[in-house]
Structure 1
Amino acid sequence: MRPRRIAIAGAGKVGRSIAAELIDNGSEVMLIERDPRKIRTGALPRANWLLADACELASLESANLQECAVMVAATGDDKVNLVVSLLAKTEFGVPRVVARVNHPNNEWLFTEAWGVDVAVSTPRLLTALVEEAVSVGDLVRLMRFMQGNASLVELTLAEDSPVIGRPIAQIALPADAALVAILRDGRVVLPSPDATLEEGDEVLAVVTAGADVEEALSEALGGTPVDSPPPAR
C-alpha cells in the first residue's frame, strides 16, 4: 500500500517535528518553506523539500497538493496559515486541513470558511492541560475539531459524584455526548456498558452541538461545566 502523502507548510521547529513524527509513522511528507535558511535536508533526509511560498498557487501546484491526503499549515504566521488552508481546500480539494493557531485572539478565524478542518492552538492546549491537572469536578475542554462542531472534554470525578459505583449503562448521558476513555491509576479503561466509575477517574468524552451538551454532560457526571467560549466575531 502506498503511504499517504502529507504536505506541511512551514519548516520551522514545529513543522520539522511534525514531519519527523509522520515519517516515522510511515507517511510520505513534503515540507514547503520559503526561507532558504530553514531548508535543512540533513535533519530530515527522508522528507521531500520544496523551497517555495506556500501562499502561491504555483508553489502548491509544484507540490502536487491535489495528491495529498492532509495539508498542515504550521508556519508562525496566522495570516499565512489561513491562506494556505483556504487554497488547499478550495483549489486542490485536500480532504483534511490542519492549521496551527499562533495567537489565541485569532482562533475564531480558523473555521470551515477558511478551509480549516482542525485548528490547533498551542496556548489553548497548554491552558486546558493546566486546568485538567488542577481541576477535580470541573469539565475542561481539551480540543475542538470537525470545524468546531465537536470537542474533546475531560472531567475528573470528585468523591461526591453521583455516578461513582454505577454502571455506565445506567448513567443518563446527553444524546450528543459519548464517553471514549477512562484514565484510572495510569491505565486506560474502555467505557463498556457494564464498567463502573470510581472516584478520581478522568473521564474523556466527545461532545457535539455546543456548550449546552457540555453542561448536560457535566451535570450527568456531577461536575461543573466549562465556561462558554467567546462568541465568534
Structure 2
Amino acid sequence: MRVAIAGAGAVGRSIARELIGNGHDVLLIDKEPRSIKPDRVPDAEWLLADSCELSSLEEARLQECDVVIAATGDDKVNLVTSLLAKTEFGVPRTVGRVNHPNNEWLFTEAWGVDVNVSTPRIMSALVEEAVTVGDLVRLFTFRQGNANLVEMTLPADSPYVGKPSGLIPFPDNCALVTILRDGQVYVPDAEQPVEAGDELLFVVSAEIEDQLESLLAPVEHRSKG
C-alpha cells in the first residue's frame, strides 16, 4: 500500500515508521525545509512541497496513493489537503488530524475526510476508559458507517454478569467485537460468559449508544443524565 503523509513533524514521522514497519510504502511531504530529515525515517520517500498546492500533489503522484494522511499541526492545511486528495486525485482513503477540538465538526466527508483523528478526544476517551465503570466511552468514530467504537467496563451488578454473551439481547446495529480480561484479548464466543470488570468493545450506531448502556449497566452506574 502506498501512503502519503502531509506533515513531517514528530507525528508524521512516527506514523511513517509504523507504516513502513508494517510493509507499506510511505511518502512524507512538508513545505518547511527544516522538517525534511531523511535520516529520521530513511526508508521513506521525502518531498519538500506544499500539500495545499495542486502542483505539489501532482509531483507527489497522489493519484497512485491508496491513503493520504493529513497530519500537520494546522487544521486548515489538513482540511485542504484531504479535500484535494479526495476530489482532484480520487484517493480511496483520507485521514485528517484534528488539532483543535472546536474544528472537529469540519472534518467530515464534505471536506474529503473519511476518518478524523482528534488527539484531544482520544486522550480524554482514554482517561475516561481508565477510570469509569458502567459508562459507555466513545473511543473512535467511523464516518462512513455512522458508527462508533465504544468501550464499557462491566459493573459487578450488571444483570448479565456470568451469562453467555450469546444470550445478551444486544440491540440491532451493535456488535461486540472484543473482550479484554486480565490482560488478555478474547474473541467473543456466544457461549462465553461475561464477567464483572470485563472491558467490552463494541461497534455501534450512535443513536443506540444509550440503549446499549442501559441494557448492560444499572441506572445508578450511569454518570450521564
Q: Return the TM-score normalized by structure 2.
A: 0.96
1:53-91 CA distances to partner (integer Å, 9 max, x unpaired)? Answer: 000001001111011000000000000000000000111
Q: 1:221 aligns with which of 183, 192, 216?
A: 216
CA RMSD of aligned residues (A): 1.4
Worse overlay, 212-221 or 74-83: 212-221
Q: SS where residue 98 of structure 1 aligns?
A: strand
Distance 1:226 1:174, change over 3 A: farther
Shift in Å, 1:146: 2.6
Residue number in structure 2 paired with 1:231: none
Decide whether aligned partners of structure 1 residues 225 and 151 sit closer, same or farther in structure 2, where only a CA change above 3 A counts.
farther
The residue number in structure 1 matching 2:11 is: 14
Question: What stretches of structure 2 of length at least 5 have no aligned partner?
Answer: none
User: Structure 2: how far apart are the matches of 1:225 and 1:216?
Assistant: 12
**Structure 1 segments of 4 or more deviating over 3 A?**
223-228
For 2:135, the equivalent position in structure 1 comes to 138
How does the TM-score come out when normalised to structure 1?
A: 0.93
**Most deviating of 63-72 and 216-225:** 216-225
Shift of 1:125: 0.3
Contact kept in structure 1, 2:108 and 2:143, CA below 8 Å:
no
**1:222 aligned partner, one-letter code:** A
* From 51, 62, 66, the counterpart of 1:65: 62
Distance change in 2, residues 1:222/1:9 (3 Å): same
Spell out, residue by residue over 1:132-166, the C-alpha distance to the aligned partner (whole angstroms, 9 max, x if none): 11100011001112347111000001110011111
Instruction: Decide which of 169, 172, 175 is 2:169's aligned counterpart.
Output: 172
The alignment-based identity, stated in percent, is 64
Q: 2:91 aligns with which of 89, 94, 104?
A: 94
Contact kept, 8 Å, 1:140 with 1:226, in 2: the verdict is no
The residue number in structure 2 matching 1:23 is 20
C-alpha distance in 2, partners of 1:197/1:44?
A: 44
- Alignment gaps of 5+ in structure 1: 229-233
Secondary structure, aligned partner of 2:91: coil
